[in-house]
Amino acid sequence: MSYNCHCEERGVRRGNLNDMHGEVGDCRTKNVRNDKLKKILQCDISYAYINSLSIRRDEDGLMDVIDLRDGMIFEYGGNIYTVMSAVHTHQQQRRGLVRLKAKDIKTGKVLQDTFRSDIQVKPVYVDEVNLVYLYADGNDYHFMDNSTYEQFTIAAEVLGDTRNYMRENLEVTGLFHNGKILDIKMPITVDLTVIEAEPGHKGDTVQGGKKKARLETGMTIQTPLFIEAGDKVKVDTRTGEYVTRV
């Protein structure tokens, strides 16, 4: 089984995971139950790979909800969801429970519920395509595949908070299912320009001091006191937090 991996080989032949079916891995959380697999999952592995793992699937291709991991895509009740978080809790002498938070890809609505660990869902296989963000037109956000020049549109409610990081010509990853775009995957960090910042007090050297700054996308974040309008800063798209000045 092949996968998108940008890490070093680390002594394991890349793209060959035939002996690792049934193991669960997410390199971003290092939540891996296979020591050999853990050695190579040290990069930002693709959603497509995570979704392609053979995880306790029955003859109908279903999987137990306990095997869901952040970023995985699945179908439940006729709707397609992206996992935002899945926390397994064990009750003594009772079935385990999974507290699931997932986003409906079509509507952007968030599902938060608790499931028995043996409830089954259908994994959704996605293809990843490199896209470039072009512009927003009302409620629609437009992207283009630079290799084919084909354009795709995603509704604002589907993107959710991801809109806070959208600047022109930003490179993202489109997630496609049956030829249709479902969602996008953002880079871990993006560089954005500060257009407005609260004044820093002259001579203020308080370590760890923070102030508000508004970015070119309209998003407001907390930054160190030395950040000024016109500065470019790196922002973590997972947390919305300031990382460093560029």
Q: So what's the pLDDT on residue 57?
A: 52
Q: So what's the pLDDT on residue 204?
A: 55
Task: Give per-10-residue mean pLDDT for the chain (246 aa).
Answer: 38 35 39 42 43 50 89 90 88 80 88 90 92 94 95 91 94 92 93 92 64 96 95 95 96
Q: So what's the pLDDT on residue 55?
A: 46
Q: So what's the pLDDT on residue 2?
A: 36
Spell out the domains of the chain, with CATH numbers in brackets.
Answer: 1-54 (no CATH), 57-125 (2.30.30.30), 127-185 (2.40.50.140), 190-245 (2.40.50.140)
| Whole-angstrom distance, CA of residue 109 vs CA of residue 84 | 12
Q: So what's the pLDDT on residue 10?
A: 33
HEC letters along the chain? CCCCCCCCCCCCCCCCCHHHCCCCCCCCCCCCCCHHHHHHCCCCCCHHHHHHCCCCCCCCCCEEHHHCCCCCEEEECCEEEEEEEEEEECCCCCCCEEEEEEEECCCCCEEEEEEECCCEEEECCCEEEEEEEEEEECCEEEEECCCCCCEEEEEHHHHHHHHHHCCCCCEEEEEEECCEEEEEECCCEEEEEEEEECCCCCCCCCCCCEEEEEECCCCEEEEECCCCCCCEEEEECCCCEEEEEC
Q: So what's the pLDDT on residue 221?
A: 96
Q: So what's the pLDDT on residue 90?
A: 75
Q: So what's the pLDDT on residue 212?
A: 94
